[in-house]
Amino acid sequence: MSNAPFAFTPLDKFSGFIDQQALIELKHSIHMHLVVMAGPTQQLCAMLLKIIDFIEDSDGDRRNKEVLELSYNIVEGLALYVQRSIDERADKAKDFPAHVRLISDNILVTVGKTRGLDNHVVAKNAVLSAVANALRGLGTFTKAKYPDIINSAGVVL
Q: How confident is the model at residue 2 (pLDDT cuts 50, 70, 90)?
A: very low
Q: What is the pLDDT of residues 66-111, one digit of tens each?
A: 889 999 999 999 999 999 999 998 888 888 888 888 999 999 999 9
pLDDT in the model for residue 27: 86
pLDDT in the model for residue 58: 62
Full-prediction pTM beyond 0.85?
A: no
CA-angle at 62, arms to 15 and 155, nearest 5°: 60
| Rounded-to-integer distance, Cα 72 and Cα 143, Å | 30
Q: What is the pLDDT of residues 101-120, one digit of tens each?
A: 899 999 999 999 999 899 99
Could you state, in order of their start, the residue ranges of all structural domains in the chain?
8-142
Q: What percent of the chain has pLDDT over 70?
A: 84
Q: What is the pLDDT of residues 10-65, one digit of tens each?
A: 555 555 667 888 888 888 888 888 888 888 888 888 888 777 676 666 676 778 88
Is residue 7 pLDDT above 70, yes or no? Answer: no
**Mean pLDDT, the chain, whole residue set:** 84
